[in-house]
Protein backbone atom coordinates (compact mmCIF):
# COMPACT_ATOMS: atom_id res chain seq x y z
CA UNK A 1 0.00 0.00 0.00
CA UNK A 2 1.25 3.49 -0.86
CA UNK A 3 1.40 5.79 2.10
CA UNK A 4 1.54 9.55 2.02
CA UNK A 5 5.14 9.37 3.19
CA UNK A 6 5.99 7.39 0.02
CA UNK A 7 4.22 9.84 -2.33
CA UNK A 8 6.77 12.21 -3.84
CA UNK A 9 6.01 15.71 -2.61
CA UNK A 10 5.59 18.35 -5.30
CA UNK A 11 6.95 21.77 -4.39
CA UNK A 12 4.18 24.17 -3.38
CA UNK A 13 3.67 27.13 -5.71
CA UNK A 14 3.09 30.61 -4.30
CA UNK A 15 -0.58 31.40 -3.73
CA UNK A 16 -2.19 32.67 -6.93
CA UNK A 17 1.00 31.66 -8.82
CA UNK A 18 2.45 35.05 -7.85
CA UNK A 19 5.81 35.62 -9.50
CA UNK A 20 5.61 32.38 -11.50
CA UNK A 21 6.65 32.66 -15.16
CA UNK A 22 4.33 30.33 -17.05
CA UNK A 23 5.66 30.49 -20.62
CA UNK A 24 7.14 32.59 -23.39
CA UNK A 25 5.46 35.39 -25.30
CA UNK A 26 6.65 38.13 -27.62
CA UNK A 27 3.46 40.18 -27.40
CA UNK A 28 3.62 42.44 -24.37
CA UNK A 29 6.18 43.14 -21.69
CA UNK A 30 5.04 44.31 -18.29
CA UNK A 31 7.74 45.99 -16.22
CA UNK A 32 6.06 46.01 -12.83
CA UNK A 33 9.00 47.59 -11.02
CA UNK A 34 9.50 50.61 -13.25
CA UNK A 35 5.83 50.85 -14.26
CA UNK A 36 6.11 50.38 -18.02
CA UNK A 37 4.12 48.38 -20.53
CA UNK A 38 5.25 47.59 -24.08
CA UNK A 39 3.45 45.94 -27.00
CA UNK A 40 5.98 44.12 -29.21
CA UNK A 41 8.69 46.46 -27.89
CA UNK A 42 6.76 49.75 -28.29
CA UNK A 43 5.84 51.71 -25.14
CA UNK A 44 2.05 51.95 -24.85
CA UNK A 45 1.93 55.75 -24.46
CA UNK A 46 2.68 56.71 -28.11
CA UNK A 47 0.66 53.73 -29.36
CA UNK A 48 -2.37 55.06 -27.48
CA UNK A 49 -1.84 58.76 -28.02
CA UNK A 50 -0.53 58.85 -31.59
CA UNK A 51 -1.79 55.57 -33.06
CA UNK A 52 -5.15 53.86 -33.54
CA UNK A 53 -6.66 50.72 -32.09
CA UNK A 54 -6.60 49.09 -35.54
CA UNK A 55 -2.81 49.69 -35.72
CA UNK A 56 -2.49 48.13 -32.29
CA UNK A 57 -4.45 45.03 -33.40
CA UNK A 58 -2.22 44.72 -36.46
CA UNK A 59 0.88 45.05 -34.29
CA UNK A 60 -0.24 42.33 -31.86
CA UNK A 61 -1.20 39.95 -34.66
CA UNK A 62 1.84 40.56 -36.86
CA UNK A 63 4.61 41.75 -34.53
CA UNK A 64 5.15 44.96 -36.56
CA UNK A 65 3.27 48.22 -37.02
CA UNK A 66 1.47 48.38 -40.37
CA UNK A 67 2.20 50.72 -43.25
CA UNK A 68 -0.79 52.55 -44.77
CA UNK A 69 -1.60 49.79 -47.29
CA UNK A 70 -1.40 47.03 -44.70
CA UNK A 71 -3.61 49.01 -42.35
CA UNK A 72 -6.18 49.67 -45.08
CA UNK A 73 -6.25 45.96 -45.92
CA UNK A 74 -6.77 45.01 -42.31
CA UNK A 75 -9.57 47.55 -41.88
CA UNK A 76 -11.28 46.21 -45.00
CA UNK A 77 -11.07 42.65 -43.66
CA UNK A 78 -12.51 43.69 -40.31
CA UNK A 79 -15.30 45.68 -41.95
CA UNK A 80 -16.19 42.69 -44.14
CA UNK A 81 -16.66 40.50 -41.04
CA UNK A 82 -18.56 42.89 -38.75
CA UNK A 83 -22.11 41.71 -39.36
CA UNK A 84 -23.59 39.64 -36.54
CA UNK A 85 -26.09 37.04 -37.88
CA UNK A 86 -29.72 37.81 -37.05
CA UNK A 87 -30.00 34.35 -35.46
CA UNK A 88 -27.61 35.54 -32.74
CA UNK A 89 -29.91 38.48 -31.94
CA UNK A 90 -32.86 36.06 -31.88
CA UNK A 91 -30.95 33.92 -29.40
CA UNK A 92 -29.92 36.82 -27.18
CA UNK A 93 -33.20 38.77 -27.22
CA UNK A 94 -35.07 36.53 -24.72
CA UNK A 95 -31.96 36.24 -22.55
CA UNK A 96 -31.63 40.03 -22.46
CA UNK A 97 -35.29 40.21 -21.49
CA UNK A 98 -34.44 37.92 -18.53
CA UNK A 99 -31.93 40.55 -17.36
CA UNK A 100 -28.89 38.47 -18.25
CA UNK A 101 -25.81 40.65 -17.70
CA UNK A 102 -24.01 42.11 -20.68
CA UNK A 103 -20.88 40.04 -20.03
CA UNK A 104 -23.00 36.88 -19.93
CA UNK A 105 -24.75 37.90 -23.16
CA UNK A 106 -21.36 38.49 -24.75
CA UNK A 107 -20.07 35.11 -23.55
CA UNK A 108 -23.16 33.37 -24.93
CA UNK A 109 -23.06 35.34 -28.18
CA UNK A 110 -19.40 34.55 -28.88
CA UNK A 111 -19.96 30.87 -28.11
CA UNK A 112 -22.98 30.74 -30.44
CA UNK A 113 -21.13 32.54 -33.24
CA UNK A 114 -19.13 29.33 -33.76
CA UNK A 115 -22.23 27.86 -35.41
CA UNK A 116 -21.94 30.46 -38.18
CA UNK A 117 -18.25 29.92 -38.86
CA UNK A 118 -17.84 27.24 -41.51
CA UNK A 119 -14.09 27.00 -41.01
CA UNK A 120 -13.79 26.67 -37.26
CA UNK A 121 -14.31 22.90 -37.00
CA UNK A 122 -11.26 22.28 -39.21
CA UNK A 123 -9.06 24.20 -36.77
CA UNK A 124 -9.61 21.52 -34.12
CA UNK A 125 -7.65 19.09 -36.31
CA UNK A 126 -4.07 19.15 -37.51
CA UNK A 127 -4.99 20.29 -41.04
CA UNK A 128 -2.68 21.90 -43.60
CA UNK A 129 -2.79 25.68 -43.46
CA UNK A 130 -4.41 25.67 -40.02
CA UNK A 131 -2.69 28.89 -38.92
CA UNK A 132 -4.04 30.77 -41.94
CA UNK A 133 -7.54 29.48 -41.25
CA UNK A 134 -7.19 30.52 -37.61
CA UNK A 135 -6.19 34.02 -38.62
CA UNK A 136 -9.39 34.29 -40.65
CA UNK A 137 -11.41 32.98 -37.68
CA UNK A 138 -9.63 35.47 -35.39
CA UNK A 139 -10.56 38.30 -37.78
CA UNK A 140 -14.23 37.25 -37.68
CA UNK A 141 -14.28 37.18 -33.88
CA UNK A 142 -12.47 40.52 -33.50
CA UNK A 143 -14.71 42.24 -36.03
CA UNK A 144 -17.89 41.13 -34.27
CA UNK A 145 -16.92 41.80 -30.64
CA UNK A 146 -17.91 45.50 -30.64
CA UNK A 147 -21.17 45.06 -32.60
CA UNK A 148 -22.07 42.11 -30.35
CA UNK A 149 -21.65 44.18 -27.18
CA UNK A 150 -23.52 47.23 -28.45
CA UNK A 151 -26.27 45.12 -30.04
CA UNK A 152 -26.76 43.12 -26.82
CA UNK A 153 -26.87 46.37 -24.86
CA UNK A 154 -29.58 47.72 -27.15
CA UNK A 155 -31.55 44.48 -26.81
CA UNK A 156 -31.44 44.93 -23.04
CA UNK A 157 -33.02 48.35 -23.52
CA UNK A 158 -35.71 46.96 -25.85
CA UNK A 159 -34.01 48.48 -28.92
CA UNK A 160 -32.78 46.74 -32.05
CA UNK A 161 -29.05 46.39 -32.88
CA UNK A 162 -27.64 48.84 -35.41
CA UNK A 163 -25.49 48.00 -38.43
CA UNK A 164 -21.96 49.42 -38.45
CA UNK A 165 -20.84 52.13 -40.88
CA UNK A 166 -17.96 51.16 -43.16
CA UNK A 167 -16.38 54.62 -42.98
CA UNK A 168 -16.02 54.58 -39.18
CA UNK A 169 -13.17 53.16 -37.10
CA UNK A 170 -13.78 50.34 -34.62
CA UNK A 171 -13.94 52.92 -31.82
CA UNK A 172 -16.29 55.13 -33.84
CA UNK A 173 -18.52 52.22 -34.74
CA UNK A 174 -18.70 51.09 -31.12
CA UNK A 175 -20.01 54.47 -30.01
CA UNK A 176 -22.26 54.78 -33.08
CA UNK A 177 -23.86 51.33 -32.78
CA UNK A 178 -24.34 51.95 -29.07
CA UNK A 179 -26.09 55.32 -29.27
CA UNK A 180 -27.18 55.71 -32.91
CA UNK A 181 -25.12 58.91 -33.11
CA UNK A 182 -21.82 59.25 -34.93
CA UNK A 183 -19.40 60.39 -32.19
CA UNK A 184 -17.41 63.61 -32.35
CA UNK A 185 -13.76 63.32 -33.36
CA UNK A 186 -12.56 64.03 -29.85
CA UNK A 187 -14.76 61.40 -28.15
CA UNK A 188 -13.79 58.82 -30.77
CA UNK A 189 -10.11 59.62 -30.28
CA UNK A 190 -10.27 59.23 -26.49
CA UNK A 191 -12.25 56.00 -26.75
CA UNK A 192 -9.86 54.65 -29.35
CA UNK A 193 -6.89 55.35 -27.03
CA UNK A 194 -8.66 53.59 -24.15
CA UNK A 195 -9.12 50.52 -26.38
CA UNK A 196 -5.41 50.51 -27.20
CA UNK A 197 -4.45 50.78 -23.52
CA UNK A 198 -6.46 47.66 -22.60
CA UNK A 199 -5.37 45.48 -25.53
CA UNK A 200 -2.76 43.21 -23.97
CA UNK A 201 -1.06 42.64 -20.64
CA UNK A 202 1.15 39.58 -20.43
CA UNK A 203 -0.33 36.46 -18.84
CA UNK A 204 -3.19 38.19 -17.05
CA UNK A 205 -5.94 35.85 -15.85
CA UNK A 206 -8.24 35.99 -18.90
CA UNK A 207 -5.38 35.76 -21.39
CA UNK A 208 -3.99 32.80 -19.51
CA UNK A 209 -7.45 31.18 -19.60
CA UNK A 210 -7.50 31.68 -23.37
CA UNK A 211 -4.04 30.15 -23.73
CA UNK A 212 -4.84 27.17 -21.49
CA UNK A 213 -7.99 26.53 -23.53
CA UNK A 214 -6.28 26.81 -26.89
CA UNK A 215 -3.34 24.69 -25.72
CA UNK A 216 -5.69 21.68 -25.64
CA UNK A 217 -6.06 22.34 -29.41
CA UNK A 218 -9.55 23.62 -28.78
CA UNK A 219 -10.85 26.33 -31.11
CA UNK A 220 -10.84 30.11 -30.97
CA UNK A 221 -14.52 30.46 -29.95
CA UNK A 222 -13.90 28.16 -26.97
CA UNK A 223 -10.80 30.15 -25.97
CA UNK A 224 -12.52 33.55 -26.21
CA UNK A 225 -15.61 32.28 -24.37
CA UNK A 226 -13.37 31.07 -21.52
CA UNK A 227 -11.53 34.39 -21.48
CA UNK A 228 -14.75 36.42 -21.32
CA UNK A 229 -15.92 34.36 -18.33
CA UNK A 230 -12.61 35.01 -16.63
CA UNK A 231 -12.58 38.74 -17.34
CA UNK A 232 -16.04 39.15 -15.81
CA UNK A 233 -14.78 38.58 -12.25
CA UNK A 234 -14.57 41.59 -9.93
CA UNK A 235 -10.87 41.07 -9.28
CA UNK A 236 -10.18 41.35 -13.03
CA UNK A 237 -12.20 43.26 -15.66
CA UNK A 238 -15.28 43.49 -13.47
CA UNK A 239 -13.54 46.13 -11.35
CA UNK A 240 -14.07 49.13 -13.69
CA UNK A 241 -17.86 48.96 -13.49
CA UNK A 242 -17.62 48.72 -9.71
CA UNK A 243 -15.36 51.79 -9.61
CA UNK A 244 -18.10 53.80 -11.30
CA UNK A 245 -20.75 52.36 -8.97
CA UNK A 246 -18.51 53.41 -6.08
CA UNK A 247 -18.16 56.95 -7.44
CA UNK A 248 -21.93 57.14 -7.89
CA UNK A 249 -22.42 55.97 -4.32
CA UNK A 250 -19.89 58.52 -3.00
CA UNK A 251 -22.05 61.11 -4.74
CA UNK A 252 -20.13 64.26 -3.78
CA UNK A 253 -16.41 65.07 -3.70
CA UNK A 254 -16.46 65.84 0.03
CA UNK A 255 -17.74 62.32 0.85
CA UNK A 256 -14.81 60.55 -0.82
CA UNK A 257 -12.41 60.19 2.12
CA UNK A 258 -15.00 58.91 4.59
CA UNK A 259 -16.22 56.43 1.97
CA UNK A 260 -12.73 55.00 1.46
CA UNK A 261 -12.19 54.82 5.24
CA UNK A 262 -15.44 52.89 5.63
CA UNK A 263 -14.37 50.31 3.02
CA UNK A 264 -10.95 49.89 4.59
CA UNK A 265 -12.49 49.50 8.04
CA UNK A 266 -14.14 46.26 6.88
CA UNK A 267 -12.14 43.05 7.19
CA UNK A 268 -10.62 42.37 3.74
CA UNK A 269 -12.26 45.59 2.45
CA UNK A 270 -11.09 46.40 -1.08
CA UNK A 271 -11.31 49.65 -2.95
CA UNK A 272 -11.96 48.72 -6.56
CA UNK A 273 -9.45 50.02 -9.09
CA UNK A 274 -6.44 49.85 -6.73
CA UNK A 275 -3.60 47.41 -6.35
CA UNK A 276 -2.07 45.10 -8.89
CA UNK A 277 -0.38 41.72 -8.88
CA UNK A 278 2.51 42.85 -11.08
CA UNK A 279 2.87 46.64 -10.73
CA UNK A 280 4.67 47.73 -7.61
CA UNK A 281 4.40 51.35 -8.74
CA UNK A 282 1.63 53.10 -10.67
CA UNK A 283 0.12 51.17 -13.55
CA UNK A 284 1.29 53.15 -16.65
CA UNK A 285 -2.17 52.76 -18.21
CA UNK A 286 -3.66 54.55 -15.21
CA UNK A 287 -1.25 57.46 -15.79
CA UNK A 288 -2.47 57.94 -19.38
CA UNK A 289 -6.11 57.43 -18.42
CA UNK A 290 -5.83 59.96 -15.57
CA UNK A 291 -4.55 62.51 -18.09
CA UNK A 292 -7.41 61.68 -20.44
CA UNK A 293 -9.99 61.89 -17.64
CA UNK A 294 -8.62 65.31 -16.64
CA UNK A 295 -8.76 66.53 -20.25
CA UNK A 296 -12.27 65.19 -20.79
CA UNK A 297 -13.45 66.77 -17.60
CA UNK A 298 -12.11 70.16 -18.63
CA UNK A 299 -13.69 69.96 -22.08
CA UNK A 300 -17.05 68.79 -20.78
CA UNK A 301 -17.16 71.25 -17.89
CA UNK A 302 -18.18 68.41 -15.55
CA UNK A 303 -15.32 68.00 -13.12
CA UNK A 304 -17.18 65.83 -10.63
CA UNK A 305 -16.04 62.31 -11.51
CA UNK A 306 -12.45 63.36 -11.92
CA UNK A 307 -12.25 65.39 -8.71
CA UNK A 308 -13.88 62.58 -6.76
CA UNK A 309 -11.44 60.09 -8.28
CA UNK A 310 -8.47 62.24 -7.24
CA UNK A 311 -9.73 62.36 -3.66
CA UNK A 312 -10.22 58.58 -3.58
CA UNK A 313 -6.76 58.07 -5.06
CA UNK A 314 -5.08 60.31 -2.47
CA UNK A 315 -6.88 58.61 0.40
CA UNK A 316 -6.10 55.04 -0.73
CA UNK A 317 -2.46 56.03 -1.24
CA UNK A 318 -2.32 57.60 2.23
CA UNK A 319 -4.03 54.69 3.99
CA UNK A 320 -2.73 51.64 2.07
CA UNK A 321 0.12 52.91 -0.11
CA UNK A 322 -1.69 51.48 -3.16
CA UNK A 323 -1.71 53.10 -6.60
CA UNK A 324 -4.59 53.05 -9.09
CA UNK A 325 -4.71 50.37 -11.77
CA UNK A 326 -6.14 50.53 -15.31
CA UNK A 327 -9.70 50.12 -14.07
CA UNK A 328 -9.72 53.17 -11.84
CA UNK A 329 -9.39 56.00 -14.35
CA UNK A 330 -10.98 54.11 -17.22
CA UNK A 331 -14.16 54.40 -15.14
CA UNK A 332 -14.05 58.20 -15.03
CA UNK A 333 -13.08 58.33 -18.72
CA UNK A 334 -16.05 56.18 -19.76
CA UNK A 335 -18.29 57.92 -17.23
CA UNK A 336 -17.32 61.33 -18.63
CA UNK A 337 -18.11 60.03 -22.14
CA UNK A 338 -21.62 59.37 -20.80
CA UNK A 339 -21.37 55.57 -21.00
CA UNK A 340 -23.41 53.28 -18.76
CA UNK A 341 -21.23 51.44 -16.16
CA UNK A 342 -22.81 48.14 -17.29
CA UNK A 343 -20.88 48.44 -20.53
CA UNK A 344 -17.44 49.19 -19.00
CA UNK A 345 -16.32 45.57 -18.58
CA UNK A 346 -17.63 44.54 -22.03
CA UNK A 347 -15.58 47.42 -23.50
CA UNK A 348 -12.55 45.90 -21.79
CA UNK A 349 -13.47 42.57 -23.45
CA UNK A 350 -13.71 44.18 -26.91
CA UNK A 351 -10.24 45.64 -26.53
CA UNK A 352 -8.63 42.64 -24.80
CA UNK A 353 -10.02 40.31 -27.48
CA UNK A 354 -7.21 41.62 -29.70
CA UNK A 355 -4.67 40.39 -27.15
CA UNK A 356 -6.52 37.12 -26.44
CA UNK A 357 -6.55 36.32 -30.15
CA UNK A 358 -2.88 37.23 -30.57
CA UNK A 359 -2.06 34.89 -27.67
CA UNK A 360 -4.13 32.05 -29.11
CA UNK A 361 -2.31 32.40 -32.45
CA UNK A 362 1.03 32.56 -30.63
CA UNK A 363 0.16 29.49 -28.54
CA UNK A 364 -0.84 27.49 -31.60
CA UNK A 365 2.28 28.48 -33.50
CA UNK A 366 4.36 26.50 -30.98
CA UNK A 367 1.90 24.55 -28.88
CA UNK A 368 2.31 22.33 -25.88
CA UNK A 369 -0.50 21.32 -23.52
CA UNK A 370 -0.55 23.52 -20.40
CA UNK A 371 -1.00 21.14 -17.52
CA UNK A 372 0.56 22.02 -14.17
CA UNK A 373 0.48 19.80 -11.11
CA UNK A 374 -1.44 20.36 -7.90
CA UNK A 375 0.30 20.38 -4.56
CA UNK A 376 -1.94 17.86 -2.80
CA UNK A 377 -2.81 18.90 0.76
CA UNK A 378 -5.73 16.50 1.41
CA UNK A 379 -6.10 13.33 3.44
CA UNK A 380 -3.42 10.63 3.31
CA UNK A 381 -4.50 7.35 1.68
CA UNK A 382 -7.28 5.60 3.63
CA UNK A 383 -9.41 2.49 3.29
CA UNK A 384 -12.71 2.80 1.41
CA UNK A 385 -15.80 2.11 3.55
CA UNK A 386 -18.88 0.85 1.64
CA UNK A 387 -21.98 3.05 1.89
CA UNK A 388 -23.90 0.58 4.11
CA UNK A 389 -21.15 0.74 6.72
CA UNK A 390 -20.86 4.54 6.84
N1 LIG B 1 -8.08 47.74 -1.64
C2 LIG B 1 -7.63 47.54 -0.40
N3 LIG B 1 -6.59 46.75 -0.10
C4 LIG B 1 -5.99 46.13 -1.12
C5 LIG B 1 -6.41 46.28 -2.44
C6 LIG B 1 -7.50 47.12 -2.68
N7 LIG B 1 -7.94 47.33 -3.92
N8 LIG B 1 -5.61 45.56 -3.24
C9 LIG B 1 -4.72 44.96 -2.45
N10 LIG B 1 -4.96 45.29 -1.17
C11 LIG B 1 -4.19 44.88 -0.01
C12 LIG B 1 -4.69 43.54 0.52
O13 LIG B 1 -5.70 43.69 1.46
C14 LIG B 1 -3.45 42.99 1.08
O15 LIG B 1 -3.19 43.64 2.31
P16 LIG B 1 -2.78 42.82 3.60
O17 LIG B 1 -1.47 42.19 3.23
O18 LIG B 1 -2.73 43.86 4.63
O19 LIG B 1 -3.89 41.81 3.76
C20 LIG B 1 -2.36 43.44 0.12
O21 LIG B 1 -2.85 44.65 -0.42
C22 LIG B 1 -2.03 42.45 -0.97
O23 LIG B 1 -3.25 42.08 -1.65
P24 LIG B 1 -3.47 40.74 -2.45
O25 LIG B 1 -4.92 40.49 -2.59
O26 LIG B 1 -2.64 39.65 -1.86
O27 LIG B 1 -2.86 41.11 -3.85
P28 LIG B 1 -3.08 40.28 -5.17
O29 LIG B 1 -1.87 40.46 -5.97
O30 LIG B 1 -3.54 38.90 -4.87
O31 LIG B 1 -4.35 41.01 -5.84
C32 LIG B 1 -5.68 42.48 -7.05
C33 LIG B 1 -4.27 41.92 -6.86
C34 LIG B 1 -5.70 43.35 -8.30
C35 LIG B 1 -6.68 41.33 -7.23
C36 LIG B 1 -6.05 43.32 -5.80
O37 LIG B 1 -5.16 44.43 -5.70
C38 LIG B 1 -7.49 43.76 -5.81
O39 LIG B 1 -8.36 43.04 -5.34
N40 LIG B 1 -7.78 45.01 -6.34
C41 LIG B 1 -9.14 45.46 -6.45
C42 LIG B 1 -9.79 44.90 -7.71
C43 LIG B 1 -9.24 45.53 -8.96
O44 LIG B 1 -9.09 46.73 -9.04
N45 LIG B 1 -8.96 44.69 -9.95
C46 LIG B 1 -8.46 45.13 -11.24
C47 LIG B 1 -7.05 44.68 -11.44
S48 LIG B 1 -6.37 45.41 -12.90
User: 13 pLDDT band (50/70/90 cuts)?
Assistant: confident
User: 65 pLDDT band (50/70/90 cuts)?
Assistant: very high
Residue 358 CB–ligand 1 contact under 6 Å: no
Say what the pLDDT of residue 205 is: 98
- Cα-to-centroid distance, 322 and ligand 1 (Å): 9
Is the predicted pLDDT of residue 1 greater than 50, yes or no? no
Helical spans, DSSP H, in 128-184? 130-156, 170-179
pLDDT tens-digit readout, 34-64 = 999 999 999 999 999 999 999 999 999 999 9
- Cα-to-centroid distance, 10 and ligand 1 (Å): 28
How would you list the strands of the sheet with 28-31, edge to edge?
A: 28-31, 36-39, 42-43
Least trusted range by pLDDT, from 5-14, 57-66, 75-84, 177-186: 5-14
pLDDT tens-digit readout, 259-302 = 999 999 999 999 999 999 999 899 999 999 999 999 988 887 77
pLDDT tens-digit readout, 311-370 = 999 999 999 999 999 999 999 899 889 999 999 999 999 999 999 999 999 999 999 999
Among the listed residues 338, 260, 256, 259, the one whose alpha carbon sits nearest the alpha carbon of residue 297: 338
- Cα-to-centroid distance, 273 and ligand 1 (Å): 9
The closest-lying atom of ligand 1 relative to the alpha carbon of residue 204 is 48
Q: Which CATH fold topology does 239-336 show?
A: Cytochrome p450-Terp; domain 2 (1.10.230)
- With 0.85 as the threshold, say if the pTM is over it: yes
Nearest-CA residue for atom 1 of ligand 1:
270
Residues 149, 174: contact at Cβ < 8 Å? Answer: yes
* Active-site amino acid positions: 276, 327
Say what the pLDDT of residue 202 is: 97
What is the C-alpha to C-alpha distance for residues 26 and 350, in angstroms, rounded to an integer? 21
Domain residue spans in the chain? 28-234+346-365, 239-336
28-234+346-365 and 239-336 share one fold = no
Residue 325 CB–ligand 1 contact under 6 Å: yes
Is the predicted pLDDT of residue 161 greater than 50, yes or no? yes
The residue whose CB lies within 8 Å of the most ligand 1 atoms, and thus the one to mutate among 275, 281, 286, 332, is: 275
CATH architecture of the domain with residue range 28-234+346-365: Orthogonal Bundle (1.10)
Amino acid sequence: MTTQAQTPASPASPAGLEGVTAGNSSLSRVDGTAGHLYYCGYPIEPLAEAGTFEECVYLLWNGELPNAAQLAEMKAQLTADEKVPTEIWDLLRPLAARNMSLMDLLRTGVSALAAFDDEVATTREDVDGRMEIERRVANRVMAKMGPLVTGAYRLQKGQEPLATKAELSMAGNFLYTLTGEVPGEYEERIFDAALTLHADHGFNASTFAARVTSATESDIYCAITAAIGCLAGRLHGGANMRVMRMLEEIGEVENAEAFVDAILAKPKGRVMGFGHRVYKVEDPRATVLRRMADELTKSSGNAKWFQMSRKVEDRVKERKGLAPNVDFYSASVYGSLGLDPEIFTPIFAVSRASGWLAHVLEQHADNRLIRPRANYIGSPERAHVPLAQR
